[in-house]
Structure 1
Amino acid sequence: MRDDDTIDDQGARRGMTGRSDDTPSSVQVGVLGEARTRRSLRTRLGGLVNLRRRPARTRVALAAGVLCCLGATAVAGAQALPAERADDRAGTEAALAERSQQAASRAEVRTPVTIVPDATPASPTTASPTTAAPTPSATRTTRPKPRPKPKPRPKRIVPVAGLDQAQMDNAKEIVKAGRAMGVPRRALVIAVATAMQESNLYNYASGVLPESQNYPHQAIGWDHDSVGLFQQRPSSGWGEVGQLMDPAFATRAFLNALLEIPGWEDLPLTVAAQAVQISAYPDLYAQHEWRATEVVAAVLV
């Protein structure tokens, strides 16, 4: 026998199934959206859960109805999908168009913005380093250092009385040494004339004393150990070899011996020279007196 409750219940489910037959069209499904579809699915799934409480026939009938509803929903969703994709495509195209307009607006020429600095006046207690009045620095006037005066070059005396430059330079050394001693002019003439006779105003070294050749010299003689402008002999006590090779030292040695002769100023030149030199030819000094006088005058100018 049939159970009326079961039949009625089947009828009730068929009514629910019948309501599922009123599935909205593809247009309506697209408009109603995903919410109504989800709610319909939950309703049908709930029916499947309750099948376990129903008799076998009722469960079979309800399962068949649910499957039919699911198939209809799938077909409707498949029909509505292109419409939804079309709506999405339209929305995407609209968004792209809006972005392109924004990019175009960004590509337009922009008006430069002028930044106005803050016009708030600075506090009177704090002075800005840019507005502070510069403190004048003390200017130091540096005077140029005076240039050192160049040392005066020794005056070069033009040779006179038939002398060459070496002879004239030696005569100058004799006059210079005599002036340093403060001797009178007559003593200078006697000294120059004596050197003219003894060495011809050349600074001689000695071949007998090889040591003498280690000093500046202009000729070499062989008259015993006589050296220098005045041919003074170290063996006679005039001085060391190196000292007698110095024109200044040799001149001082000669003049010191001349000044020791009493009344030398009034003696003839040849007598005065011979008193100092003690030469084997005492009369030969006189021949150089006039030349010696001219040379001394040229140096003292």
Structure 2
Amino acid sequence: MSETPRPRPRRRRPLRTAAGLLVLLALAGYFLVQHASNGGGAPFCTASVREGAEPSPEGARRSYEMTPEQAGNAATIAAVGVAKGLPDRAVTIALATAIQESSLRNLDHGDRDSLGLFQQRPSMGWGTPEQVMDPVYAAGIFYDRLVEIKGYAKLPLTDAAQRVQRSGFPQAYAKHEPDAFVLTGAFAGDGEVRCGGPAPTRAGDPRKLRAELTRIFGEGTHTPTPEGRHGGPEGAAARAFEVALVEKQNAGEAGARTSQMMAQWAVAHSRGMNIDRVSYGWKGWIAGQAEGRWQDKGGPGKSGDGDPRNAEPGEIRIFLHR
């Protein structure tokens, strides 16, 4: 009786295995590069200030992470305060209040008839439901009532916020002061805001962007860049989808502060406004690159000086996707 033949063991194919590993490594490398440049993945924003800028040495944070929605709302709150010429302390109070009341989300619900970023109640004289759901209006009326408080800038933050809000939890605002301080410095001070995620795929609307910038900042310190200021084919081709503003002569510190605020506001609203690039000073922010960080473009005579999309001193250039 013959023995039942056994199947011969399959020989390993080292070449095929090695090829498969190489393909996997190549794919892994590709996705790592994509993650590093943030050309894909979930969008995010981070506000940061330099070390040593915290209001207290023990508990203050140097960065604050947000969703694009939260970043856009924080930017608008800060921008309205800057446009009103208010000090950083007022902006910090407003931001801490909004973090507590809504986590920087424009809520369409709340306790009783409370609505919006600050959970303002139409029945208590804050405005119509439509008005308090408008972040620009909501921030504006918060500041208007804050400045009515004599010596508000010298009060503890929770006291100043409570005198405006009349909250049932008056001590809740203080814990958000370190984060609000970081946001204030990032939007209107020496810090910065970076927003990463995929580059936009839909066309932006320059008329909508111009209208919103004018609604927030007015025309006190900046004017639109004159047509033809940027020569060359790139400037001509991009002009229809570019919004540019330049500081007025003798705008001084107010003009510089507003320029910083406009540039950071544009980055924070890049996702909602479909913004591809923001140029300000000798730096530029480009959607989908460098994990959303501002990139050094170089100065006169340095690498990057020949970029036709660079901004001139005192100028902000915002390029929308087309």
Which TM-score bucket, shorter chain as reference? 0.3 to 0.5
Higher strand proportion (structure 1 or 2): 2
- Over alpha carbons, which structure has the higher Rg? 1
Output the TM-score relative to the length of structure 2. 0.39
Relative contact order, higher structure (CA 8 A, sep 6+): 2
Q: TM-score, normalised by structure 1?
A: 0.42
Whichever structure has more helix as a proportion of its residues is 1
